[in-house]
Amino acid sequence: MNRLSLFRKINNKFKSLVAKIVMLVLYRAIKVLAREDSRIMNEFLTWKDGLTVALEASPDGTAIYMQKYGDKLKRIKACSNVDIRITFRSVDAAFLVLTGQMGVARAYAEHRFMLNGDICQTMSLVRCIDIAESYLFPRLLTKRILRKVEKKEFSTLRVYRKIFVGV
């Protein structure tokens, strides 16, 4: 086996693992902020009941599926019939966006992901992701990847505590 291909496989596994962790943290952040942050709460209320979202790191890679049930966001098992499907073209593209090295708007402009579904609902989801990123990433990073850095309604530490501990 070629040494470079072994390195590439290990690199892809690492990026896939990081993407999976970040997608899980992002899902939990949106879930927490839908109850805590008034802007995400307002966006979340506009989503139709039963709205399903798929966020896929690559066409055959890591993915997370979520669905709105009433006033809650739940993680669900793989689902083929989703309302919004965002699929990154590669694990590398997902890694860049999910680790804050590239913003969603730039990734879209560079065709690094495919979008299937209602664009209005997707824009609402992207606004929620942007607000969640402003809590999850350091301010220096968010200034680089977001058009407008949203003001936090409470501390980042509080969000992380609720994501990981649930208190």
Q: How far apart are CA 29 and CA 138, in angstroms?
A: 15
Burial class (CB in 10 A: 0-12, 13-18, 19+), 113: buried
pLDDT in tens, the chain (167 residues): 566 688 888 888 999 999 999 999 999 999 999 999 999 999 999 999 999 999 999 877 789 999 999 889 999 988 889 999 999 999 999 999 998 888 888 898 999 999 999 999 999 998 999 899 889 888 887 877 777 777 899 888 999 999 998 75
How many CB atoms lie under 10 A from the CB of residue 19? Answer: 27
The parent domain of residue 29 ranges over 3-160
How far apart are the C-alpha atoms of 101 and 85, rounded to whole Å?
22
What pLDDT does 151 receive?
Answer: 85
* 56 within some domain: yes
Q: Is residue 55 part of a domain?
A: yes
Report the number of distinct structural domains present in the chain.
1
Angle at CA 25, nearest 5°, toward 72 and 29?
A: 45
Half-sphere exposure of 129 (CA within 13 A, CB side): 24
* DSSP letter string, 117-164: E-HHHHHHHHHHHHHHHHHHS-HHHHHHH-SSPPPPSS-HHHHHHHHH
pTM flag (> 0.85) = yes
Output the domain CATH number for residue 21: 3.30.1050.10
Decide if 167 is inside a domain: no
63 within 8 A of 56, measured Cβ to Cβ: yes
Residue 15 domain-assigned (yes or no): yes
Residue 166 lies in a domain: no
| Residue 62, domain member (yes or no) | yes
